[in-house]
C-alpha cells in the first residue's frame, strides 16, 4: 500500500472518534465535519513517519481546530437574536440508514449541548475528552497547552456547571417515549392539567428560530408557564408532530405539507419533562429527510 492510501486508511479508522470529539465540542454536524476534514488536510501535508501516535496527533488537531471555531462562534453570538440551540440529529427509523445510526451514536442530548455552550472552549474540551470520551488528563494537557493539573481543574469546573444545569435523562427510552406521547396528546387537546402533570416544576422551554426574533417565544421557565403556552399553541401545531429520536432521546419531528420544518428534543427526568428544545432553524436540521 502506498503512503497516500495508508494515510487514508489510518485516518478512516479514527474518523468515528474524531467526529465524536468534534460534534460534542461544536454541537454542529457541518462544523464537526469541517473540523475533521481540516485534520485530514493537515495529515496529508505532514510527514507521516514523524508522527509517533497518530490517534493523539489527530485528536490534538481536531481539538485545537474546535477551540478556534468556538471562539469565532462566541463572537458571532453577540448579535444572535433569541435562543441558540445546537444541530438536531433526528431519526424516524434508527435501524435504517447506517450513516444515520453513526450520527445517533455520536449524538449528545440537546439540553447537555446547550449547557456545554456556556463553558469556555478549553473547559469544554477538557470535559468532553475526559468525562465523555475517557481521555486521560496527561493526554489532554498538551492539546490545550496547559499542565495536567490545569486540565484536571478545567474539567472539574466544567463538571460542576454541567451537573448544576443539565438534568439527567431517564435511561429507559420506552419510558421517555411514553411521556413524550402523553405530552403530545395533551398538547393536541389543549389539556392544561394533563400538561402540568407531565412537566417538572422548573421545566425549561427553549426555541431557536435561526436568530429571527418574533417567530416563537424564545424561552419559558416553570410548569404553569410552559403548560399554558403548550395548551394555547398545541391544538394548532401538535397535529404536525410525529414521534422520532432527537439526539438519541425520545422527541418529535414537525412536518408540514411542504416537508420537515422542525424538531423537538426532550429531557425526561424522573418521569417528567425537564427540558423542551424546539429547533426551527433549517440549517440545524440537516439530518431531516424530505418525504
CB-CB contact of 261 with 254 (8 Å): yes
Mean pLDDT, residues 112-117 taken together? 93
Of the listed ranges 28-42, 72-86, 120-134, 240-254, the least confidently predicted one is: 72-86
This prediction has a pTM of 0.87
Helices (H), 117-262: 121-127, 137-144, 148-165, 173-189, 192-198, 223-237
Model pLDDT, residue 237: 85
Give domain limits for the chain. 3-88+109-165, 173-284
CB-CB contact of 85 with 110 (8 Å): yes
CB-CB contact of 253 with 271 (8 Å): no
At residue 70 the predicted structure's pLDDT band, cuts being 50, 70 and 90, is: very high
Average pLDDT, the chain: 88
Please state the CATH superfamily assignment of the domain spanning residues 3-88+109-165 in this structure: PhyR, sigma-like (SL) domain (1.20.140.160)
**CA–CA distances in Å: residue 29 to residues 10, 208, 286:** 22, 16, 8
Distance CA 30, CA 11 (A): 19
pLDDT digits (tens, 9 = 90+) for 151-176: 999 999 999 999 878 888 998 999 99
Model pLDDT, residue 291: 47
Residues paired with residue 275 on neighbouring β-strands, in sequence order = 204, 267
Q: Does domain 173-284 have CATH number 1.10.150.120?
A: no
Amino acid at each position: 500500500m502506498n503512503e497516500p492510501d495508508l494515510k487514508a486508511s489510518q485516518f478512516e479508522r479514527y474518523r468515528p472518534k474524531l467526529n465524536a470529539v468534534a460534534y460534542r465540542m461544536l454541537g454542529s454536524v457541518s462544523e464537526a465535519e469541517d473540523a475533521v476534514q481540516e485534520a485530514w488536510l493537515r495529515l496529508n501535508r505532514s510527514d507521516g513517519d514523524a508522527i509517533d501516535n497518530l490517534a493523539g496527533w489527530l485528536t490534538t488537531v481536531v481539538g485545537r481546530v474546535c477551540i478556534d471555531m468556538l471562539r469565532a462562534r462566541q463572537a458571532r453570538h453577540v448579535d444572535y437574536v433569541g435562543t441558540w440551540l445546537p444541530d438536531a440529529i433526528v431519526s424516524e427509523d434508527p435501524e435504517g440508514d447506517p450513516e444515520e445510526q453513526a450520527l445517533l451514536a455520536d449524538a449528545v442530548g440537546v439540553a447537555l449541548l446547550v449547557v456545554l455552550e456556556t463553558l469556555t472552549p478549553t473547559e469544554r474540551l477538557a470535559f468532553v475528552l475526559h468525562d465523555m470520551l475517557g481521555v486521560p488528563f496527561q493526554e489532554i494537557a498538551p492539546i490545550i497547552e496547559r499542565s495536567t493539573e490545569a486540565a484536571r481543574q478545567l474539567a472539574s469546573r466544567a463538571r460542576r456547571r454541567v451537573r448544576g444545569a443539565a438534568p439527567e435523562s431517564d435511561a429507559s427510552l420506552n419510558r421517555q417515549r411514553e411521556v413524550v406521547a402523553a405530552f403530545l396528546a395533551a398538547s393536541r387537546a389543549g389539556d392544561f392539567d394533563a400538561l402540568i402533570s407531565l412537566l417538572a416544576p422548573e421545566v425549561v422551554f427553549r426555541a431557536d428560530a435561526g436568530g429571527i426574533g418574533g417567530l416563537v417565544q424564545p424561552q419559558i421557565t416553570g410548569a404553569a408557564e410552559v403548560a399554558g403556552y403548550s395548551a394555547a399553541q398545541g391544538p394548532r401545531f401538535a397535529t404536525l408532530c410525529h414521534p422520532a429520536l432527537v439526539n438519541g432521546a425520545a422527541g418529535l419531528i414537525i412536518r408540514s405539507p411542504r416537508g420537515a420544518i422542525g424538531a423537538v428534543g426532550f429531557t425526561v427526568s424522573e418521569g417528567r419533562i425537564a427540558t423542551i428544545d424546539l429547533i426551527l432553524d433549517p440549517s440545524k436540521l440537516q439530518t431531516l429527510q424530505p418525504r
